[in-house]
Structure 1
Amino acid sequence: MMNNKMFILGIASAAFLASCNPKEKTTETTNATTDSATVQTAPSDSITKATPIAAGDTSENSLDWPGTYEAVVPCADCPGIKTALTINNDKTFSITEEYIDRNSKNQDKGTFEWDAAGSVITLKGKSANYKYKVGENVLFQLDMEGKEITGPNKDLYIFKKK
């Protein structure tokens, strides 16, 4: 019983002494938001620096997405459709679809819109009404409901930036 009291007294004394020692100056982190970016501060050898943390990086605002993307997508009655899609900074696009082993080529142009999350674009052309998830130098074509395409041919719906 006496050993327990001594042990507790020892811990309390150590905690008290530790709290009396001078400590490095620290700044508490707050959830302050400035222009939709959270700012956190951290101690650094007595110099405290504020580091902005992007609180909303999206494909739209953090990737180098403008450019031309190409893929050969599956076709029901031909070997494939060679597709080239160019998306521009001004939210316009042009697309060329060439049916392999056929004398058929479709071209369209128009505008596109980003979804609320800033990760998916929807083409708005005369005939083109496709959705793509935007990645780093890649576009993933989505199905008509905006869901990722699955199955054995899913890799054929990946457009690579040229």
Structure 2
Amino acid sequence: MKAARYLAFAGLTSLALVACKPQTPAEPATSATPATEAAPATPAPAADAATAAAPFDAKAFAGTFAGTLPCADCPGIDTRIVLAADGTYTLTETYQDRPAPPNKGDGTWTVEESDTRLRLDPNSKSDNDRLFAILSKDEIRQLDQQGKAIESNLPYNLKRTAQ
């Protein structure tokens, strides 16, 4: 019985020493792909480089988006969002057939979700963030508070306009 304990202790000690042994530069790290299977590095063809997606350019995306969004108790809400290249925005909403002055807001905007979603973060913390899907460089579509598409045939899209 003592011999079995001694062997178990010796085995665990050896395992611990091997696991704690630092690798030296002479010992290459193990790789999932053996060196014999590695393909030599070759530059990508020019055609592939041309078709690769360019990174999102927030400054180039900045501009004015406008349209009429649905309204529960009026014909529509004329909406204008001006996205500035410095990451700030202004929002103007005018309820149709109402004598009230337009609602105005401002804050910062960011692009998220791999350049597919626009977030408006208002300076007024009593207002919720607004989310829009980026459909193209010239069109965005309002999303719900969870960032999901609004299932409706109503017009939730805003299109780029001239300043």
SS in 2 for 1:52: helix
75, 78, 83: which one pairs with 1:82? 78
Partner residue in 2 for 1:66 = 62
Residue pairs, 1:9-158, within 5 angstroms: 30=41, 40-41=44-45, 52-53=49-50, 57=54, 60-61=56-57, 64-104=60-100, 105-125=102-122, 126=124, 127=127, 129-134=129-134, 135-153=136-154, 156-158=155-157
State the shift of 1:52 in Å. Answer: 3.0
Which residues of structure 2 form unaligned runs of 5+? 1-38
Which residues of structure 1 form unaligned runs of 5+? 1-27, 33-38, 42-48
Q: Is the alpha carbon distance of 1:75 and 1:40 closer, same or farther for their aligned partners in structure 2, counting shifts above 3 Å?
A: same
Q: Is the alpha carbon distance of 1:97 and 1:40 closer, same or farther for their aligned partners in structure 2, counting shifts above 3 Å?
A: same
Asked whether the 8 Å contact 1:138–1:160 carries over to 2, the reply is: yes
Q: Is the alpha carbon distance of 1:62 and 1:122 closer, same or farther for their aligned partners in structure 2, counting shifts above 3 Å?
A: closer
State the shift of 1:136 in Å. Answer: 2.3
TM-score w.r.t. length of structure 2: 0.62
State the shift of 1:78 in Å. Answer: 0.9
Question: What RMSD over aligned residues (CA atoms) do the two structures have, in Å?
Answer: 2.8
Asked whether the 8 Å contact 1:40–1:53 carries over to 2, the reply is: no
What is the CA deviation profile of residues 109-153 of structure 1, one whole-angstrom value per residue up to 9, with x for unaligned ones? 110122141221111112362111222211111111111222221
What is the CA deviation profile of residues 93-113 of structure 1, one whole-angstrom value per residue up to 9, with x for unaligned ones? 000000101123200011012
Q: Which portions of structure 1, spanning 4 or more consecutive aligned residues, are displaced by more than 6 angstroms?
A: none
Q: Take 2:158 and 2:40, find their aligned partners in 1: how far apart are those partners?
A: 42
Amino acid at match of 2:120: L
Q: Take 1:63 and 1:136, find their aligned partners in 2: how far apart are those partners?
A: 12
Asked whether the 8 Å contact 2:78–2:93 carries over to 1, the reply is: yes
Partner residue in 1 for 2:160 = 161
SS in 1 for 2:57: helix
Count of aligned residue pairs for this structure pair: 118
Q: Take 2:88 and 2:76, find their aligned partners in 1: how far apart are those partners?
A: 25
